[in-house]
A = this chain, B = another copy of it.
Amino acid sequence: MGKYSGTKNSVIFFAGAFTSLTLIWSYFLFFSASSNFAITGLLHDKEPVKKCSGLDMQFDPPEPGFYDDPDLSYSIERSITNWDEKRYQWIESHPSFKPGLENRIVMVTGSQSSPCKNPIGDHLLLRCFKNKVDYARIHGHDIFYSNALLHQKMNSYWAKLPVVKAAMLVHPEAEWIWWVDSDAIFTDMEFKPPLHRYRHHNLVVHGWPNIIYDTQSWTALNAGVFLIRNCQWSMEFIDTWKSMGPVSPDYKKWGPIQRSIFKDKLFPESDDQTALIYLLYKHKELYYPKIYLEAEYYFQGYWIGVVGGFANVTERYLEMERQDDTLRRRHAEKVSERYGAFREERFLKGEFGGRDSRRRAFVTHFTGCQPCSGDHNPIYHGDTCWNEMIRALNFADNQVMRVYGYVHSDLSKTSPLQPLPFDYPNDPW
């Protein structure tokens, strides 16, 4: 039995209390000029409303900070020094941003500035963006979408580095910047990355150390989704990382060097992912202690290993909901995290989210599908890519729309939605 059903007595008591409350309230309403004062009117006798209303977005002290330093540049070509002190100083002068600082995340994603070659490409990008906005809203993260190059030379897979660097500078209130490729879809809207696990690290990617150090494969990690701490170490790491990119005079030489070590690397030019693996491989003592290679759950999961399991995992999650009425309880979207935490505690403890886990894949990444260009890896049939992306999007959207009272009864069918009966999935359809 869930916590909620454990309070039957208080339910009865409350029912009575609520009735009388309603009577008094209706009376009050009768005399209030307009019902819309009913709620907002309450606040005036309440205390530290302003002081405590979260972030003070209208306050920026006149005393100069790092933004007032003419030598500070947002460009990927210029280095940032003493960022920890600068960021610390900003936070000290903007105290309303201190609460929750350790866990504050700004998500960053993006895509090309022109229409996609693939006729369904922009539709898929739009829905992938909606999916990220849904996840960000449910968990209170800010999200920024970039659809223009910040540096002409830093294009395709290198475009993210100038954006991530600029986002770090413009969001000193955020401890983490979370880059998520446009073709990566959140398929567990409840799950939160275990930030405490990364407290001694500054960069988190999905990967496997043995494949870097023993096998030397360019797929030892995936650079399409990463958490990077907003600190000086990261600024310097991005400087080093980008020095293997098109902005560097040595760009041409890096492709062959990467390929000489990582033999399975696909394209001849230096790419951001192989560059990252190269740094971990060549300078293990320097970087490995600060880069967390996450493989215990799908920090990002290869779609081929995930999409086949949507039906089973849906059934497993419905089974949890049949077992515990707390999970069947309707609620405001703003408190969805409470139910995610409850499911975690009651059903998913110690469940690593890999293959064959009871846990849903957190992020399903359509690597190789190239939805925008449509130039997918020849080993996949294009339609398989697009159809599975739609199914993944609707699988995720079911977790969102359920709170709004609706569900996609068929993952391949986006619209119309089906209304959910009360106490679903216990009630028969």
Instruction: Using CB atoms and an 8 Å cutoff, list the residues of chain A in contact with chain B.
Output: 3-4, 6-7, 10-11, 14-15, 18, 21-22, 25-26, 29, 33-36, 38-40, 42-43, 46, 48-55, 57-60, 62-64, 67-68, 70, 73-75, 82, 84-85, 87-91, 94, 97-102, 111-116, 119-123, 125-127, 129-130, 133-134, 137, 139-140, 142-145, 147-152, 166-167, 169-173, 175, 199-200, 202, 229, 231-233, 290, 329-339, 341, 397, 401, 403-406, 408, 414-417, 419, 422-423
Tell me which of B49, B74, B200, B335 contacts A405 (CB under 8 A): B74
A88-B405 CB under 8 A given contacts A7-B62, A55-B54, A133-B133:
no
What chain B residues lie within 8 Å of A404 (beta carbons)?
74, 150, 166-167, 170
Q: Are B416 and A38 in contact (CB under 8 A)?
A: no
Q: Are A98 and B334 in contact (CB under 8 A)?
A: no
What chain B residues lie within 8 Å of A202 (beta carbons)?
34, 36
A332-B67 CB under 8 A given contacts A38-B84, A229-B36, A233-B36:
yes
How distant is the Cα of A364 from the Cα of B15 in the complex, in angstroms?
Answer: 49
What chain B residues lie within 8 Å of A173 (beta carbons)?
332, 334
How distant is the Cα of A331 from the Cα of B173 in the complex, in angstroms?
Answer: 12
Give me 8 other A-B pairs in contact (C-beta within 8 A), A6-B62, A148-B415 excluded: A11-B63, A26-B85, A42-B91, A43-B102, A60-B335, A134-B145, A150-B417, A150-B419
Name, among A15, A133, A144, A414, the residue most crowded by chain B CB atoms within 10 Å (CB to CB): A133
Q: Are A416 and B101 in contact (CB under 8 A)?
A: no
Q: Are A175 and B64 in contact (CB under 8 A)?
A: no
A149 CB → nearest B CB, Å: 4
The 9 residue pairs across chains A and B that have the minimum distance between CB atoms: A54-B54, A74-B405, A122-B122, A53-B99, A113-B415, A148-B415, A67-B330, A115-B123, A149-B416
A209 CB → nearest B CB, Å: 20
How distant is the Cα of A341 from the Cα of B59 in the complex, in angstroms?
Answer: 10
Copies of this chain present: 2
Name, among A21, A68, A97, the residue most crowded by chain B CB atoms within 10 Å (CB to CB): A68
What chain B residues lie within 8 Å of A26 (beta carbons)?
82, 85
Tell me which of B29, B49, B58 contacts A335 (CB under 8 A): B58
What chain B residues lie within 8 Å of A339 (beta carbons)?
60
Tell me which of B14, B137, B405 contacts A73 (CB under 8 A): B405
Tell me which of B33, B129, B170, B331 contacts A60 (CB under 8 A): B331
What chain B residues lie within 8 Å of A6 (beta carbons)?
62
Q: Are A133 and B122 in contact (CB under 8 A)?
A: no
A77 CB → nearest B CB, Å: 9
Tell me which of B4, B62, B126 contacts A122 (CB under 8 A): B126
Closest B-chain residue to A333, C-beta based? B170
Q: Are A39 and B330 in contact (CB under 8 A)?
A: no
How distant is the Cα of A252 from the Cα of B152 in the complex, in angstroms?
Answer: 56
What chain B residues lie within 8 Å of A143 (beta carbons)?
133, 137
Q: Are B122 and A7 in contact (CB under 8 A)?
A: no
Name, among A64, A341, A423, the residue most crowded by chain B CB atoms within 10 Å (CB to CB): A64
- Sample (20) of A-B pairs whose CB atoms are under 8 Å apart: A35-B232, A36-B229, A36-B233, A38-B84, A38-B88, A39-B84, A39-B88, A39-B91, A43-B102, A49-B98, A55-B140, A60-B331, A90-B332, A113-B414, A113-B415, A121-B122, A126-B126, A130-B147, A149-B417, A171-B334
